[in-house]
Chain A
Amino acid sequence: MKKNAVKPVMGLVLVYGFLIVTSAFTVFPVLYALLGAFKTNADVMTGGAILPREWIFTNYRAVWEQINFARYTLNSIYISSLAAIGSVILCSMTGYCLARKQFIGKKIVLSLYLSTMFIAVGALNLRPLYLLMVELGLHNSLWGIILIHVGTQNINVFLVSRFISTLPKELDEAATIDGCGTFQAFWHIIMPLIKPILGVVALFTFRGAWNDYIMSSVFTMTRPELRPLTVGVIALRYGSSAAAEWHYMLTGASISIIPILIIYLIANKTFISGVTAGSVKG
């Protein structure tokens, strides 16, 4: 992209001013949370100050000893990455067919996607899905959770399908006319062009799976060793005391965000690459 060489300084000041103010707004509570890892529980619960009244460095150790971080982290990585990969494949294939292809029952499929999107609510689905997974023998296994994450991508399917429909039809038509199969046209032509949105789908699914609490906690209730990290972290507040141990929960959370940050930085490349290369890079 060409540089706007004569951009007035005022504009830049405005731009940076806006960015700095917004970042401050977004980062401050995160900092508050992260600093909670260095507070006593009473300090966290009394509130009133972002900095610890007295810096505590033992929380990390206590938390590390309380739950099996390594195991839980592995479980989470396993669930989240497979869910993300599965979702990218499912959303792109389904989105492509919905955007480009005619097939029997398309209207029905579309309206089912739309209507289930309106109605689906975690609390409502939990019990039937759990009972179903028991029937399938997939309860108490991470696969039940992964399949559900992959299978409930309604919104993303729509989104991807819309992205595909904005691409010029000539692209894959040309490919098809030229004798390229449907799947090849999809794989070689469409996929590279929708990388940005697939990056978003992967990132958001990964994050959703990583942070999922209710479903994951129910699905692993009889097998604590299969718990993902978020379930472990949230359970940290339930120590052996009457009051919840919020400082431990914040400590756990401050560790559990690191993997998502890494995934974000990777995904960021797909929507940072800029427009020039995006159109035909394969």
Chain B
Amino acid sequence: MQKKWKAKAHVILVLVVVSSLMAGLAGAAMAQTTLVWWTHQRHDMDFMQELVKEFNDTNTYGIKIEYNIMAENYRQNLELAFQSRQAPDIFSVASDTRYLADRNMALPLNTYLNEDMQVRFAGLLEVDHINSYNGHLYSLPNVGNPYRLIYNKDLFAKAGITSPPTNLEEMVEYAKQITSAAKNEQAYGFALNLKAPQSALNRSFDQVAMMSNLFPYDFATGRYDFERIRPIILSFKQLVVDGSTFPGIESLDIDPMRAQFAQGKIGMYMSADWEIGVYANQFTTDVNWAAAPIPTVTGSELGRSNINGAGKWLAISTQSKHPDLAWKVMEWFHRNEVLVKYHELGLGMSVVPSVLEIANDSSRQGSEFFKVDPTAEFVWPFAPHQIGLAIEGRTYYDVIAAVMFGAMDLDRGIQDLNRRYNDALDRAVSRGTIERIIIEDFDPANL
């Protein structure tokens, strides 16, 4: 195979050229062991890169971290890297732990864990599917993202509303009032980034359902019951029927939505603490905004909303040639000092009690609205559809969006969802690809 040989020769040539260039740039300061770290997190880039530099300069193990941010297709790239045995040594966890365990991607950390950590992370180390699976611990907690209703105080004042809605009826009513009060500015009461229904409704609809203890997956019985979310769908639909939603939300993306909010054209929407950075640095705004707890259906149910992504951060690859050194890195980055700073900078809301005890509140404007309230939120367990249950046909997010816009009948939609989700779950369970997650006496208000 002359061709192959030739191609290989070229590869070698290219590699030689490239590497000599790189070597020239990097100079002689090569560390003994290079550990590759992949992350899908980019909001903390500046902070993390500084830390990585500090670690590289000061560590005594001869470790040099190569920190690589994967903006897109993180999970696919990671899978491919594992399949071709080129996995990074350390990677950020963007999935549930069963996914990691099934694919043999992450190293169990149980044996590495020191006493200090066991104390500091007490109560946060055996969260099934989040950082543990089958008694193995794969990742350690750091921060999470609590959800809120984000609203424009100026528009509220204009419509004569004094406080944010606590239930859906109020939310629908306020949205209507804002829309009619702000006709001249062409502002609207409510918005959703429905171009991607799953992204839009997970940050809003799902949180309302969780707060109202009406999540469509019943953890007590291990079955889906979409009848529970009927009242929420009806309220969301009412927003559209009233004309209180921002024009074109059916194809609205998240960033244009934020830009319009910053322009004062949107009364309220729901999202997590990522928005703090958006309005502080990116879409700087004169809008007087605030954030309130996610409203519930009646305002008096007992549920709690989810803290997104909490309970996990980094994992060590099973393919790492230096797992012990990788653990040294993890240890260094999980020091209280780092976690406290992470929290104080407002890069996320810490869920670690020992961090919260000593950390100051973030000085970032807007952070004050996102303080984790343990009585109103916690780290929800994963439902099967959140850990890779393949649903035939549309997701419930798509169906809700379609019902909201009258493109589908509500009754038919609910029936159809119950059938498809439970069928999919039964089938997956019988094929052994997913397990039925059952938490007896599941009560989000008392956990």
Contacts and interface: CB of A to CB of B under 8 A. Distances in A.
A and B touch in the complex (CB under 8 A): yes
Contacts of A243: 254-255, 258, 278, 282-283
B287 to A, nearest CB: 12
B381 interface: no
A89 interface: no
Contacts of A134: 84-86
A254 to B, nearest CB: 19
Interface string B272-283: 001101100111
Interface string A143-168: 10001000000000000000000000
Interface stretch (A24-32, A39-47, A170-178, A180-188): A39-47
A46 B252 CA distance: 12
Given A137-B8, A218-B77, A46 B259 contact: yes
Interface in B159-212: none
Contacts of A218: 73, 76-77, 80
Contacts of A237: 71
Interface in B275-307: 275, 277-278, 281-284
Interface string B46-73: 1000000000000000000000111111
B148 to A, nearest CB: 14
Nearest to A241: B282
Interface stretch (A93-101, A106-114, A191-199, A221-229): A221-229
A160 to B, nearest CB: 21
Nearest to A127: B80
Interface residues of A, number: 38
B18 A226 contact: yes
A81 to B, nearest CB: 14
Interface string B78-92: 001101111000000
Nearest to B253: A45
B7 interface: yes
A143 B11 contact: yes
Contacts of A41: 259, 282-283
Given A147-B7, A218-B77, A242-B277, A42 B84 contact: no
B15 interface: yes
B283 A137 contact: no
Given A45-B259, A218-B77, A240 B46 contact: yes
A241 B86 contact: no
A221 B71 CA distance: 10
Contacts of B275: 242
A132 B131 CA distance: 33
A250 to B, nearest CB: 13
A141 B15 CA distance: 8
B22 interface: yes
Contacts of B69: 238
A240 B162 CA distance: 35
A235 B46 contact: no
Contacts of B263: 42, 46
Contact of A240 (B22, B43, B77): B43
B77 A142 contact: no
A242 B43 contact: yes
B262 interface: yes
A253 B7 CA distance: 31
A45 B255 contact: yes
A55 B14 CA distance: 41
B443 interface: no
Interface in B1-51: 4, 7-8, 10-11, 14-15, 18, 22, 36, 42-46
Which of A138, A141, A147 neighbours the largest number of chain B CB atoms within 10 Å of its CB?
A141
Interface string A250-268: 0000000000000000000
B13 to A, nearest CB: 9
Contacts of B318: none
B44 to A, nearest CB: 7
A56 B76 CA distance: 36
B260 interface: yes
A143 B45 contact: no
Which of A42, A47, A217, A234 neighbours the largest number of chain B CB atoms within 10 Å of its CB?
A42
Contact of B282 (A217, A225, A242): A242
Nearest to A45: B259
B274 A45 contact: no
27 contacts: A45-B255, A46-B259, A46-B260, A47-B256, A47-B259, A127-B83, A131-B80, A131-B84, A134-B85, A138-B7, A138-B11, A139-B84, A139-B86, A214-B73, A218-B76, A218-B77, A218-B80, A225-B22, A235-B71, A241-B42, A241-B282, A242-B43, A242-B274, A242-B277, A243-B255, A245-B282, A246-B255
Interface of A: 41-42, 45-47, 127, 130-131, 134, 136-143, 147, 214, 217-218, 221-222, 224-226, 234-235, 237-246
Given A224-B68, A241-B281, 11 more contacts: A41-B259, A127-B80, A134-B86, A140-B86, A221-B81, A234-B72, A238-B42, A240-B43, A241-B282, A243-B278, A244-B255
| 8 tightest Cβ-Cβ pairs between the two chains A and B | A45-B259, A238-B71, A240-B45, A242-B274, A134-B84, A42-B283, A141-B11, A46-B259
Interface of B: 4, 7-8, 10-11, 14-15, 18, 22, 36, 42-46, 68-73, 76-77, 80-81, 83-86, 254-256, 258-260, 262-263, 274-275, 277-278, 281-284
